[in-house]
Amino acid sequence: MDFLPEEIEGYSEQFSAVESDLLAEINRFTNAKVLMPRMLAGHLQGRVLAMLSKMISPKHVVEVGTYTGYSALCWAEGLADGGRVDTIEVNDELQSVVEAFFAKSEYRENLHLHIGDAGDVIDSLQAPFDLVFLDADKRNYPNYLKQVLPKVNVGGYIIADNVLWSGKVTSDPRNMDEETAALHEYNELVTDNPNLDNVLLPVRDGLMIARKIA
């Protein structure tokens, strides 16, 4: 769900940098050919992710939930010299699509797709991580937080998408479905952790930005 009125979202896109030709191609392809195209970050959020990456200049990004590769390419835009994005996708039917898009990218040498369950793949990746992007199965967000936190550098970031879950996180916790409850728990875990500084940005479906401070 978008929390912004359509005309405000359109205006914000109009006055944000345009998508690259490759990102526009992925956007079009995903909307025409892939199930649940709503999962793709899209123009405005993609520019937010790319700008965050340029501000942080991470050497090592770990993305949980590749889908068709849109957000991985956005993260790649801000990598430090020689940096890498490890992106994890459980759906092997997307592998050839993502690899074909990555092959067209100027960042192809920096992009590494891992097909498998994120819970397993994260532990096979060499730490430390400078930036982790959570954008996969919502029920596991609290588990992913516990799993990645020791692997993130002090000064590094954990950024999670969909933490507002169309506003459902504001409902009575006794009536929350499993995904909403997990996202609400994630927001509590991040906010209550004295080793994290955080802000919840109501961009698109909610981006929780957490910085490891100790």
Ligand X SMILES: C[S@@+](CC[C@H](N)C(=O)[O-])C[C@H]1O[C@@H](n2cnc3c(N)ncnc32)[C@H](O)[C@@H]1O
In the complex, which residues of this chain contact ligand X (CB under 6 A)? Answer: 39-41, 65, 67, 70-71, 88-91, 117-118, 135-137
Q: Which is nearer to ligand X, 68 or 187 (CB)?
A: 68
Residue 153 CB, shortest distance to ligand X, in Å, is: 22
Please give the single-letter amino acid code of residue 118.
A
Closest to 26 measured CA to CA, from 90, 102, 78: 102
Q: Which is nearer to ligand X, 124 or 195 (CB)?
A: 124
Residue 194 CB, shortest distance to ligand X, in Å, is: 29
Residue 181 CB, shortest distance to ligand X, in Å, is: 17
Whether the CB-CB separation of 177 and 185 falls below 8 Å is answered with no
**For ligand X, which residue has the nearest CB?**
65
Residue 201 CB, shortest distance to ligand X, in Å, is: 15
Q: Which is nearer to ligand X, 70 or 102 (CB)?
A: 70
Those residues whose C-beta lies under 8 Å from the C-beta of residue 41, and which sit 6 or more positions away, are: 49, 70, 71, 74, 135, 161, 204
Residue 118 CB, shortest distance to ligand X, in Å, is: 3
Quickly list H helices, the chain: 6-14, 21-33, 43-56, 70-76, 95-103, 118-124, 141-148, 178-192
Q: Which is nearer to ligand X, 92 or 172 (CB)?
A: 92
Integer Cα distance of 179 and 185 in angstroms: 10
Whether the CB-CB separation of 12 and 44 falls below 8 Å is answered with yes
Q: Which is nearer to ligand X, 31 or 57 (CB)?
A: 31
Partners of 212 in beta bridges = 196
